[in-house]
Amino acid sequence: MIPLPAECELVELQIRGDDRGSLIAIENGSQIPFDVKRVYYIFGTTAGTSRGFHAHHDLRQFAICVAGSCVMTLDDGVQRYQVRLDRPDLGLQIGSPIWREMSEFSPDCVLLVLADAPYQDSDYIRDYADFQQIARKSAGDEA
């Protein structure tokens, strides 16, 4: 298993299908451990583009690369972890506070993200030094 921060988890999604094709159903409380309040997707990224570069105070997310691939870099304030999302049946649960960066997008990448709250600018941590201080406090290290 790929090592991840404690607030993150890879989740295998059940594929249902037959000779006509495949289907993956995603339901609150089953594969997704929260009620989905917002859905968005990233696509059409140009070669060499990286995105993210932020963390959240409270938001929880579930990311699925439904087409193509990308690399998610996750940082808990102590260690950085990398996960390649390249299967539509593999979801990445991301808790808070976790710094996230997305890179190495394939030309056909479609990254679907489910979130437990609507967009709220005040929930974003956009400065890495601020994130590190918040992550240390979250971990119980007041130093």
Q: What confidence tens digit (pLDDT) does each residue in 54-88 have?
A: 999 999 999 999 999 999 999 999 999 999 999 99
Q: Which residue has the tokens 């649960």?
A: 93
52 in helix, strand or coil? strand
At residue 108, the pLDDT reads 97
Closest Cα to residue 73, out of 102, 50, 105? 102
* Whether the Cβ atoms of residue 33 and residue 93 lie closer than 8 Å to each other: yes
Architecture of the domain spanning 28-138: Sandwich (2.60)
Q: How confident is the model at residue 1 (pLDDT cuts 50, 70, 90)?
A: low
Q: Which of 38, 51, 54, 136 is the catalytic position?
A: 54
At residue 84, the pLDDT reads 97
Q: Is the dihedral of CA 131, 33, 2, 109 positive or negative?
A: negative
CA 129 to centroid of chain Cα atoms = 21
Would you tell me how many other CB atoms lie within 10 Å of the CB of residue 76? Answer: 21
At residue 141, the pLDDT reads 56
At residue 143, the pLDDT reads 46
Q: How confident is the model at residue 115 (pLDDT cuts 50, 70, 90)?
A: very high
Distance between CA atoms of 20 and 39, rounded to whole angstroms? 27
Question: Would you kindly state where each structural domain of the chain is located, as residue ranges?
Answer: 28-138
Q: Is 57 designated active site?
A: no
Distance between CA atoms of 73 and 27, rounded to whole angstroms? 26
Distance between CA atoms of 16 and 23, rounded to whole angstroms? 5
The reply to whether the predicted model has a pTM over 0.85 is: yes
